[in-house]
């Protein structure tokens, strides 16, 4: 997951929150609006009819290269059309992406995405613990050989500690010093990543925890300068409310 400077965004404002979520979701989800122009000679499509009736179209794309961990509880209900058939996302020109329904996005943001964050948090904490063991060993070299041994009381897996000791005992003093400096940098970086992921988890829970909030987020995309697409529209956005001021 990409690391974004969260301090640049005040998520109490809808526009800032919407822009932040677009950036956070970039590895997994992409949003595109239907292009506004109407090239001459192009056959009339459902997308054209929506645009002419005052509705704006939106497509939500899912990155097919990303592994989405799901089970039966995480599967979104299939959208059905008026004829009683499952409505699949239309063909897209976006290589590596597929168009998904609002229902599928809803399940992603409220079920799959939180699990992805939790998995990444746990993996990062494991890496952090590994680097912590390495630092503890590096800070306590022995005068005799082998210089590095497993501490008597170690908070971690013994197999990993053995691997670390074997690696460190192949280093000379200068190499061990460089390894310690790099380990300390790794610890700072991993600790920052855990804090970042915890904050993203909190923001997603508070701002996307209710179905109505997710629907409002989709509506708010109408006020964001998104890239456009010529793909067939799959999601119909509500007519934007225009407020006019009387003089």
Over the stretch 49-84, which tens digit does the pLDDT of each residue have? 444 434 467 899 999 887 665 554 555 555 544 444
- Asked if the model's pLDDT at residue 240 lies above 80, the reply is no
pLDDT of amino acid 237: 58
pLDDT of amino acid 79: 53
Mean pLDDT of 170-185: 93
pLDDT of amino acid 161: 81
Percent of the chain with pLDDT over 90: 46
- Asked if the model's pLDDT at residue 42 lies above 60, the reply is no
Percent of the chain with pLDDT over 70: 73
Looking at every residue in the chain, the average pLDDT score rounds to 81
Mean pLDDT of 166-185: 92
Mean pLDDT of 98-127: 94
CA-to-CA distance for 138 and 91, rounded, in angstroms? 56
pTM, two decimals, is 0.78
Q: Buried (b) or exposed (e) across 84-102, using 16+ Cβ within 10 A?
A: eeeeebeebeeeebbbbbb
CA-to-CA distance for 120 and 116, rounded, in angstroms? 6
CA-to-CA distance for 165 and 141, rounded, in angstroms? 11
Strands 235-237 and 228-229: unpaired
pLDDT of amino acid 232: 79
Helix axes 14-24, 211-220, angle to 10 degrees: 90
Q: Are 194 and 117 in contact (CB under 8 A)?
A: no
- Asked if the model's pLDDT at residue 174 lies above 70, the reply is yes
pLDDT of amino acid 5: 96
Neighbours of 112 (CB within 10 A): 21
Please give the residue that has the higher pLDDT: either 36 or 15. 15
Confidence of residue 214 (pLDDT cuts 50, 70, 90): very high
- Lowest-confidence region among 17-26, 62-71, 107-116, 231-240: 231-240
pLDDT of amino acid 62: 92
Name the phi and psi angles at 63, rounded to 5. -70, 115
- Lowest-confidence region among 79-83, 97-101, 138-142, 236-240: 79-83
């Amino acid at each position: 997951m990409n690391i974004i400077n969260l301090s640049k965004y005040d998520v109490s404002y809808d526009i800032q929150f919407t822009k932040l979520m677009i950036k956070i979701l970039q590895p997994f989800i992409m949003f595109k609006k239907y292009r506004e122009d109407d090239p001459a000679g192009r056959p009339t499509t459902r997308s054209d009819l929506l645009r002419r009736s005052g509705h704006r179209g939106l497509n939500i794309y899912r990155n097919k290269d990303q592994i989405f961990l799901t089970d039966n509880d995480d599967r979104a209900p299939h959208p059905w059309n008026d004829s009683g058939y499952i409505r699949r996302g239309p063909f897209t020109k976006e290589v590596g992406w597929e168009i998904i329904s609002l229902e599928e996005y809803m399940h992603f943001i409220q079920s799959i995405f939180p699990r992805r964050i939790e998995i990444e948090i746990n993996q990062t904490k494991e890496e952090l613990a590994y680097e912590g063991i390495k630092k503890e060993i590096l800070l306590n070299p022995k005068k005799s050989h082998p210089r590095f041994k497993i501490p008597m009381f170690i908070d971690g897996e013994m197999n990993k500690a053995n691997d670390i000791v074997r690696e460190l005992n192949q280093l000379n003093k200068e190499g061990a010093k460089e390894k310690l400096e790099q380990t300390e940098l790794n610890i700072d970086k991993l600790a920052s990543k855990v804090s970042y992921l915890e904050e993203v988890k909190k923001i997603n829970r508070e701002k996307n925890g209710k179905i109505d909030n997710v629907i409002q987020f989709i509506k708010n995309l109408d006020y964001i300068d998104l890239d456009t697409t010529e793909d067939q529209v799959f999601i119909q956005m509500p007519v934007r409310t225009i407020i006019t001021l009387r003089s």
